[in-house]
Amino acid sequence: MQAERESLDFDIVFVGAGPANLTAAIDLQRLINRHNASATTILEPEIAILEKGRYVGAHLLSGAILDPAVFNQFMPDFLQRGCPLEAEVTRDSAWFLFGQKKIQIPYLPEPFRNRGNRLVSLSKLGAWLAGEAESLGINIFDNTAAVEPVIENGRVTGVITDDKGIDKAGNAKSGAEPGMRLNAKTVVVGEGSHGSIFRKLDRAFALSEESRKQIYETGVKEFWKIPEGRIEAGEVRHTFGYPLPSSIYGGGWLYAFSDTEVSLGFVTSAEPERPEVDSHYNLQLFKQHPFISSIIRDGQLMEFGAKTITSGGFHAMPKPSGPGFLLTGETAGLVNMQRLKGLHLAMQSGIMAAETLFASLLTDDFSEKALHSYRERLENSEAYKEMHMAGNYRQAFENGLYTGLMQAGLSLKIPGLLPSEKAAASAENKPDTGKKHYLKWIQKKAAFRPDDALTFSKSTDLYASGTVHEEDQPCHLLITTEDITDICLKKCTEAFGNPCQHFCPAGVYEINHDADPFLRLSPSNCLHCKTCEIIDPYGSITWVPPEGGGGPGYRSS
């Protein structure tokens, strides 16, 4: 949109209203308030939080299990203040599923144990934290996507927000408004997994080392109401095996929020080297196993969602700071796949970001050196120690489930055993759509018919996600005409059978193979998980934020 942008000045701009940035903003404002209560020089910084969802929490999704120790540091009276935590974990188990059978893993190593932790809806927690932030006078701008970092003289000086009211052809509709330029002394980026601002900063400042490539998974989740008497509040189950072959990393979970509410989901590896996967289909098969179906049968689906998970571990963490910016939470790679947790790490990073920003406000020094103290805080923290201890847990599974379990198990006794880089997949795990197993998978998937009681189609689950977009806007999934013609309709068809039709959990991509083949996109279905950009074997898809306010509308996830 070619129009003059309004420019607003802030001291700190937070990109993303997730737990890391909300914690940072709250803790920063409390540090400021304590300082102002006794200081002669008053600090009155302008702070803004940008949230692309239509409300805070709309795009937040996880299992989730929270290690509550972080709240003892951040907000000791969190329960008295109404923090919406669910049941305390009282029973914890891990299982290997195969066929219609199951085997319980007899011993849970310490990192896998969850007793005393709390189950939590991340969307509810985000909404509650937003209320705490607003009560301190912090400005939260929902329905507002940051689409571009402003980089001047080698430093980030702000962000550009999304244009409003642009039609599919790129023309301004009645009432259209150009995005704003928000200037800031520091931009704090906490977008979650594979964020669009982070990717641009990564390219501009080389934040990630190529030899230690990040790894991702796609997690899909359903929230159910179930009849009483089937499970007790606080029970946690994790699974390996069915419905995945041992060559593909993944697993399932079932968490009892109450005696009648369960969170269940399935995680599937999202790798361009192995794009022929379908996380949504895996979840439907997972629910058919008696171990899960016996709990949820005759229940009611309440919500569905999907997100990608940053799982590369310690050696894949990007540089957490740079000139004019900090990275927090999952954007900083702070997810411990060994413990299957990241929420407490995200909040710890927010506390350290707040301390760094407060020190800069006191000295009016936002130089790269001053912001580098965030990295020093992080490297001397319990969060960093935990990530280091977990090492590259996820990489141990690059050559299969059984090798990974053995190597990960031995590493608990022999620290340092895990691979230091992303392992190369063995030859038998590399994609080959001509293999019988792949053709058999395609045929089985094509024959699958959801019963709309226990299992559901992508369109039915999509409805349960509350996803809404402005229909008349430019497509936010960018693929060049040349790539559609040469890659999507030729190379990818021949080499992979167009896996975009499978790996997208929302059914955004459809290939018509008639005499004149074409690609049909349904961007209004998009769940903002970014699986497509991550797993696309040719790198031809670029995900950019649509108009702010679009996307899922999670309430319980």
Pairing between strand 542-543 and 477-478?
antiparallel
| Same structural domain, 294 and 367 | no
The answer as to whether 111 is a domain residue is yes
Count other Cβ atoms within 10 Å, centred on residue 167. 14
pLDDT of residue 43: 98
**Residue 221 is part of a domain; what is its CATH number?**
3.30.9.90
The counts of H helices and E strands in the chain are 16, 26
CB-based contact 251:265 (threshold 8 Å)? no
Treating both helix axes as pointing N-terminal to C-terminal, what angle do 368-379 and 382-390 enclose, rounded to 10 degrees?
Answer: 60
**One-letter amino acid for residue 320 of the chain:** P
| Same structural domain, 65 and 111 | no
Measured in degrees and rounded to the nearest 5, phi and psi for residue 300 equal: -130, 125
Regions of the chain short of the pLDDT cut 70: 1-3, 210-211, 408-436
| Same structural domain, 323 and 186 | yes
pLDDT of residue 439: 79
Tokens linked to 236: 């946690």
| pLDDT tens track for 70-93 | 999 999 999 999 999 999 999 999
User: Among the three residues 366, 390, 414, which one is the final residue of a domain in this structure?
Assistant: 390
| Same structural domain, 115 and 127 | no
For every residue of 284-302, DSSP letters joined together read HHHHHSHHHHHHHTT-EEE
Range of the domain at 147: 7-80+123-208+318-390
**Residue 13 is part of a domain; what is its CATH number?**
3.50.50.60
pLDDT of residue 2: 60
- Residue 522 to residue 529: CA distance in whole angstroms: 15
The answer as to whether 400 is a domain residue is no
| pLDDT tens track for 431-460 | 444 456 777 888 899 999 999 999 999 999
The answer as to whether 399 is a domain residue is no
| Same structural domain, 376 and 442 | no
The answer as to whether 413 is a domain residue is no
| Same structural domain, 106 and 65 | no
pLDDT of residue 418: 56
| Same structural domain, 240 and 384 | no
| Same structural domain, 251 and 294 | yes
The answer as to whether 332 is a domain residue is yes
User: Among the three residues 360, 390, 420, which one is the final residue of a domain in this structure?
Assistant: 390
Number of domains in the chain: 2
Residue 181's alpha-carbon distances to 5, 89, 208, in angstroms, are 6, 45, 27
Task: Decide: residue 159, CB within 10 A, 0-12 exposed, 13-18 middle, 19+ buried.
Answer: buried
The answer as to whether 548 is a domain residue is no
| pLDDT tens track for 92-145 | 999 999 999 999 999 898 888 999 999 999 999 999 999 999 999 999 999 999
Chain centroid, CA 424 distance in Å:
24
| Same structural domain, 108 and 221 | yes
Which pTM does this prediction carry?
Answer: 0.95
pLDDT of residue 135: 98
CB-based contact 508:521 (threshold 8 Å)? yes
pLDDT of residue 3: 67
- Residue 391 to residue 357: CA distance in whole angstroms: 29
| Same structural domain, 49 and 135 | yes
| Same structural domain, 432 and 507 | yes
| Same structural domain, 175 and 76 | yes
